[in-house]
Structure 1
Amino acid sequence: MDLRRFITLKTVVEEGSFVRAANKLCCTQSTVTFHIQQLEQELSLQLFEKIGRRMCLTESGKKLMPHVHELTRVMASIRQAAQQNSEPEGELRVATGETLLAYKMPQVLQRFKEKAPRVRLSLQSLNCYVIRDALLNDEVDLGVFYRVGNDEALTCNAIGEQTLALVASPALLGADFTRTDQHLPLSFVINEPQCIFRQLFESQLRARRITLENTIELWSIESIKLCVAANLGVSFLPRFTVTRELQDGTLVELPFSDPPLSITALCAHHAGKVVSPAMRVFMTCVEECCAAGK
């Protein structure tokens, strides 16, 4: 079988049409059509059916796709193994948590661009649980995120323990979160429910039997800090995200835990994945910029 035909099939599925697949593969639409027809003849099954104006995978085609993804992954691994000593190039898919992206990654990205100018970097900001699943499903090559549980199938490099801080406006300096069995008429300003530091904070409140008035959910860490500074509530964030505000007095830290709670930042990839030159350079940049506390 011609491996190019499986690449064509994968591209058609990813791009959603024969025309867009042809554009991505830099060939004609007739070439894409020919590859699919030849593959259907070799496999003795129909891969696509026309529904309205769209070409959709048949049930047989859907069952075939996991094997096609595995085949292309193996091909990519072989290609990477042959290029271990070459200059990094190609595409690198990286996913990172929002706080790490905003406060830790700019220096990493700048250094990576200098060291690997020929690499096309695809960068996504995702929830840590989603990043772990994306690594396991080979949807991204590297993840920079916080440890969120079972990671036995991943190769993880710890890049530092990040302490967490309960912060508020100076007007709330007297709020006491260390006393159990109480209701505090305050809002908790934080991001989505699967946020690892939100989960830690809420777990501590349950253990101490402390209730708050309500929760305000915002996606942006900067928006969260502005709301807290405006006395709209308290938040529980990695300390590195509020260092400036604590120094200038815009925010104050409230006593919460001794020693402070912390989360582990990781740079990880699938344990079965061949480490490409681009991946190796990126991991080195992360270690140089993050693990050293720069």
Structure 2
Amino acid sequence: MNLKRFLTFKTIVEEGSFLKASQKLYCTQSTVTFQIKQLEQDLSLQLFEKIGRKMVLTQAGEKILPHVYELTRVMENIEGTAQQESSEPTGELKVLIAETQLAYKMANVLKEFRIRAPKVRLSLQSQNCYQIRDDLMADKADLGVFYRVGNDEALKVHEFKQEPLVLVASPLLQGMNLQHVGQHIDSGFISNGAKCLFRHSFESIIQERNISIDNMIELSSINTIKNCVESNIGISYLPRFTVEKELQEGSLQELPFTDTPQMITPLCGYHAGKCLTPAMEVFIDCMRCEH
């Protein structure tokens, strides 16, 4: 069997369509279609079926997918071992990054990585920490830069300096103190999604204190959240490094919340069964230098 066809199959599943897979693999859509037809003939199975305007996995395709991930992992490990003998990292590196890390911590990392690994095709995607962990466990990316969110025994992780969380509000908001139990807050709480780690931490504390809040507002980016907090639309719970400048300038204020700051642990991790390629090693080293 042609191993390249299995890689094409895996890429279609990850990218969500034949067209996006062809763009990822730098080939035509007809080439992707041909490779899948050949693979289906090799296996005597139908792997995709058309439902509406989408091509979706058949039951047979779903059954072989874990084995395809295992096969491609072995292929990557072999390639990684071979690369270790070369003088310069090559190939593609897919990295999933938590938004706060991407927006505030990655500039120097990416600059240094580009200098040290200019031949590597770097693919970056911003996701929430829970999704990053799950995708790494499913071997859908090479590396993840995120915060610890629970069980990660299937991953190999490098920990970096812990970061404190801070509750912030507009300076126009006077007298709010969420350390008092049994109260109702008229102001909204702003986060970047229901699966936001910082929101989960905040909600856990106010539930223990029997505090209720009128509105949960979900916005797309940390900068948008900060702008809305500055405009007194609501309060937010964020890593201190994301609001340090605004706190110093006085455009945001810190609200009393916990006796000692809650801490989050930045990680750079990868699937425990994945071979550490030269490109991955360089990226992790760049992370280590920055943190």
Structure-1-length-normalised TM-score: 0.86
Q: How does 1:214-293 map to 2 (within 5 A)?
A: 214-290=215-291
Contact 1:162 1:262 in 2 (8 A): yes
Aligned-partner Cα distance in 2 for 1:53–1:213 = 41
User: In 1, Cα distance between the equivalents of 2:254 and 2:32?
Assistant: 63
Distance 1:34 1:177 in 2: 59
**Unpaired stretches in structure 1, ≥5 consecutive residues:** none
What's 2:76 paired with?
76
* 2:145 counterpart SS class: strand
Tell me the percent identity: 54
Contact 1:22 1:29 in 2 (8 A): no
Larger CA deviation: 121-130 vs 62-71: 62-71
Structure 2: 5+ residue runs without aligned partners?
A: none
Q: CA deviation at 1:212?
A: 2.0
The equivalent residue for 2:208 is: 207
Greater Cα shift, 118-127 or 221-230? 221-230
Query: How do 1:150-165 residues align onto structure 2 when only pairs under 5 Å count?
Result: 150-165=151-166
Instruction: State how far apart, in whole Å, the 2-side matches of 1:195 and 1:23 are.
Output: 29
How far does the alpha carbon of each residue in 1:166-213 deviate from its partner, in whole angstroms, 9 at most, with x for none? 111112242111111111222212221111111111111111111123
**Residues 139 and 271 in structure 2, CA contact (< 8 A), matched pair in contact too:** yes
**Deviation string, structure 1 residues 115-172 (Cα, Å, up to 9, x no partner):** 1110000100001000001101111110000111001111111112110111111122
Aligned residues: 289
| 1:189-242 deviation per Cα after TM superposition (whole angstroms, max 9, x unaligned) | 222111111111111111111112322221211111111111222111100000
State the secondary structure of the residue aligned to 2:163. Answer: strand
- Deviation per CA, 1:34-72, whole angstroms, max 9, x where unpaired? 8844x5565455556788999876544443333233212
CA contact (8 A) 2:22 2:32 kept: no
Greater gyration radius: 1
Change (3 A) 1:71 1:218: same
Code of the residue aligned with 1:199 in structure 2: it is: H
Kindly provide the CA deviation profile for residues 241-270 of structure 1, in whole angstroms up to 9, marking residues without a partner as x. 000000011111111111111111111111
Q: Distance in 1 between matches of 2:282 and 2:102?
A: 18
Aligned-residue CA RMSD (Å): 3.0
**SS, match of residue 269 in structure 1:** strand
Do the aligned partners of residues 94 and 52 (structure 1) sit closer, same or farther apart at CA in structure 2, a change above 3 Å counting?
closer
Cα deviation for residue 31 of structure 1 reads 10
Compared CA separation, residues 185 and 42, structure 1 to 2 (3 A)? closer
Verify: 1:132 aligned to 2:133, yes or no: yes
Q: TM-score, normalised by structure 2?
A: 0.87
Offset of residue 8 of structure 1: 5.3
Alpha carbons of structure 1 residues 187 and 70: separation in structure 2 relative to 1, 3 Å:
same
| CA 186–153 in structure 1, closer or farther in 2 if over 3 Å, else same | same
Three-state SS of the structure 1 residue aligned to 2:77 is helix
Look up the equivalent residue of 2:75 and give its one-letter code: M
